[in-house]
Chains A and B, each alone.
Chain A
């Protein structure tokens, strides 16, 4: 079982819709969770991080964490064509092994 699982997509949504990106992880002791956006040919850039159960909102982005279900999601409201990218979920390990493990990423396409 891969440590961090994401649906590779592509996920296609119309402009203005809500895009929902999902991620599950296997290490129950994971401490922190990150969403990175990666445009084609570019490096990953951090858009959200979350440490506690519940929702965290930042502009059009909402991260949701459910540690009991080992599930983290990213919602993008009012999706724009400029949001079209691969979204990488990353999970930080527990204890002294703060290794950031990435999923394969979900390719999101927002259609005008």
Chain B
């Protein structure tokens, strides 16, 4: 069974530029999560989808961040414009339902110069 797929793995951009991350969850997993992980910290939830509906986006900075999960399968997270403080690892995870274990993708390491 294929795991959670993310791309790109690494991204370096200059501040004020836009950037997008893509995630394809494990087949059959209806719940998809985007997390942000800073160095030395645990992952922090940005947004959670149940199928195509964003059911928890309370931690998403909506002035610059947006996400979509069309057709309830893969998802895209966008930052526009990027700021220096956005440098972090962006992790995507998926699960079957809310209470089952979450499986993480390899992450995208973003560096904003």
Contacts and interface: CB of A to CB of B under 8 A. Distances in A.
B is bound to A = yes
A99 B99 contact: no
A100 interface: yes
A99 B45 contact: yes
Interface stretch (A62-70, A72-80, A90-98): A90-98
B98 interface: yes
In the complex, which of the residues A43, A44, A100 has the most CB atoms of chain B within 10 Å of its own CB atom? A43
Q: Size class of B's contact patch?
A: 10 to 19
Contacts of A102: 42-44
Q: Size class of A's contact patch?
A: 20 to 34
Given A43-B91, A43-B107, A49 B42 contact: no
Nearest to A43: B104
Nearest to B6: A43
Interface string B20-43: 000000000000010000001111
Contacts of A97: 56
Interface in A27-51: 31-32, 34, 42-46, 49
Contacts of B45: 99-101
B106 A104 contact: no
A31 to B, nearest CB: 7
Contacts of B44: 102
A55 B33 CA distance: 29
**Which 7 pairs of residues, A with B, have the shortest CB-CB distance?**
A102-B42, A98-B98, A43-B104, A46-B101, A43-B107, A44-B104, A88-B42
